[in-house]
Chains A and B, each alone.
Chain A
Amino acid sequence: MSEAAIDTSGMKVTDEVVIEIQHMHKWYGEFHVLKNVNLTVNRGERIVICGPSGSGKSTMIRCINRLEEHQQGHILVDGIELTNDLKNIDAIRREVGMVFQHFNLFPHLTVLENCTLAPIWVRQTPKKDAEEQAMHFLSKVKIPDQAHKYPGQLSGGQQQRVAIARSLCMNPRIMLFDEPTSALDPEMISEVLDTMIELAQEGMTMLCVTHEMGFARKVANRVIFMDGGEIIEQNEPEEFFTNPQSERTKLFLSQILNH
């Protein structure tokens, strides 16, 4: 990631609410993982979620596309409520892309096939159109020349960029990132963050669980701190980093910023 300030002209937060989480609770058996989570996300927001491990941040974003089920409260995505209704779940998953810590590419398919599988099967896009679109997004993440290789032949950073391209091929309106750079070697982190910055500049709504505080400062319009399954504090980045309110936030920031 370059140190220069980035062009923020394309990053516009609108009044339109795209995600609404109300009084959400989740338990794993006896363990209360998420406690009364309330969060409203407007279109165009770039939200960074941080917190100690086990604080529930990944679980929270995984509830948004129903990789995890919540037991109490409501989640609305684009006005559709997440219930056990499979039709609603499908509709929401079509709008929400996700990038995982361990990429989760399909190892037996080429990069191109990884990108075309969902458009062909979910959106019934003709194969040729799906391939054209895949090449477009692979160019965007700067690896069109790797299209016919298998994931295992690429570096970690390249694999994660393929994963981002694979999500974009579904034309999502919201992107979830679950620690996208945590499994990467240090020299590959910036190429993935640069791709994410570009997405933000194009106005993508993003929720990102990450410990990359430089990214949070530059790109996020809001930083959320979670601990013990609760949202402890949220603020715009400058305020969040320079003037944290809660003791837990201060402790966390001192641990990750001064080591």
Chain B
Amino acid sequence: MDFSFQVISHNFPYLVSAARWTILISFLGMLVGLLLGIGICAARLSHHGWLRRAAALYISFFRGVPLLVQLLAFFYILPYAGVNLPATVAAFLSIGMCSAAYNAEILRGSLQAISPGQREAADALGIPPLALWRRILVPQALRIGLPSHINELILLVKVSSLASVVGIGELTRVAQNITGQTYRPLEIYMATAVIYFVINALIAWGGRRLERRLGVGQR
């Protein structure tokens, strides 16, 4: 069987359309992961012992159990609890909750890298805790951690392929379907690989640009 570009060109629009779901799930997952990650990181560094322990438990659970298992559990167990979410929502929430554990640890590392002088200056000026976090610590931590957060986003784009097991028509799932119809795995999966690669190359490029732009303040 010869390699056929025709197979690719014929099915490419379906793959690209499916890639939109891949992007949607991974970016929404990252958003949930970042916002929730900020909260978990704050809990991890809290003065209250029970909050710290709860955050540590969350992190060890979501880092310790395979995302595929989490996805399946989220998808099949929640309905028993009376929660019926659309599959895509369940997918990005589940991916986001897992990613939150990683983002929280990235943030914790970044926060610890901020010079103690920053907090002292804020204290000396009488800046209240909310402003200290919102205007001084979190913005600086996000900058320090930017390369790692971009890394995390790239991982999420790849990991979103796991959502295929719960029936979401994202890139990998659609590639499987097309392969089933055409019996052309070589062409279809090569095209799929190229699309994943392009998405992630764009993210990496955007990340580098963002780093350069935010770096202005650090010079």
Chain A residues with CB under 8 Å of chain B are 65-67, 90, 93-94, 96-98, 100, 102, 104-109, 117-118, 121-122, 150-153, 163, 166-167, 170
Question: Are B121 and A122 in contact, with the CB atoms below 8 A?
Answer: no
B126's partner among A94, A109, A166 (CB-CB below 8 A) is: A94
Question: Are B140 and A108 in contact, with the CB atoms below 8 A?
Answer: yes
B124 at the interface (CB under 8 A from A): yes
CB distance from A243 to the nearest CB of B (A): 36
In the bound complex, how far is the Cα of B216 from the Cα of A153, in angstroms? 8
Beyond A121-B135, A122-B125, A122-B128, whether A106 also contacts B118 by CB under 8 A is yes
Q: Which residues of B contact A98 (CB under 8 A)?
A: 121, 124
B127 at the interface (CB under 8 A from A): yes
Question: Are B117 and A122 in contact, with the CB atoms below 8 A?
Answer: no
Question: Are B219 and A104 in contact, with the CB atoms below 8 A?
Answer: no
Residue of B with least CB distance to A153: B219
Residue of A with least CB distance to B117: A104
Question: Are A102 and B125 in contact, with the CB atoms below 8 A?
Answer: no
Most chain A CB inside 10 Å of its own CB: which residue of B118, B121, B143, B217:
B121
Known: A104-B115, A107-B140, A122-B128. 20 other contacts (CB 8 A): A65-B123, A66-B123, A67-B120, A93-B123, A93-B124, A93-B125, A98-B124, A104-B118, A104-B121, A106-B140, A107-B217, A117-B125, A117-B131, A118-B125, A121-B135, A150-B218, A151-B217, A153-B219, A163-B121, A167-B125
Interface residue SS majority, chain B: helix
Residue of A with least CB distance to B124: A98
Interface residue SS majority, chain A: mixed
In the bound complex, how far is the Cα of B125 from the Cα of A105, in angstroms? 12
Chain B residues with CB under 8 Å of chain A are 115, 117-118, 120-121, 123-128, 131, 135-136, 139-140, 143, 214, 216-219
18 A-B pairs within 8 Å (CB atoms) are namely: A66-B123, A67-B123, A94-B126, A100-B117, A100-B120, A100-B124, A102-B115, A104-B115, A106-B136, A106-B140, A107-B217, A108-B140, A108-B214, A117-B135, A122-B128, A150-B217, A152-B217, A166-B125
In the bound complex, how far is the Cα of B126 from the Cα of A67, in angstroms? 11
Q: Which residues of A contact B219 (CB under 8 A)?
A: 150, 152-153
Q: Which residues of A contact B117 (CB under 8 A)?
A: 100, 102, 104
Question: Are B127 and A117 in contact, with the CB atoms below 8 A?
Answer: yes
In the bound complex, how far is the Cα of B41 from the Cα of A166, in angstroms? 30
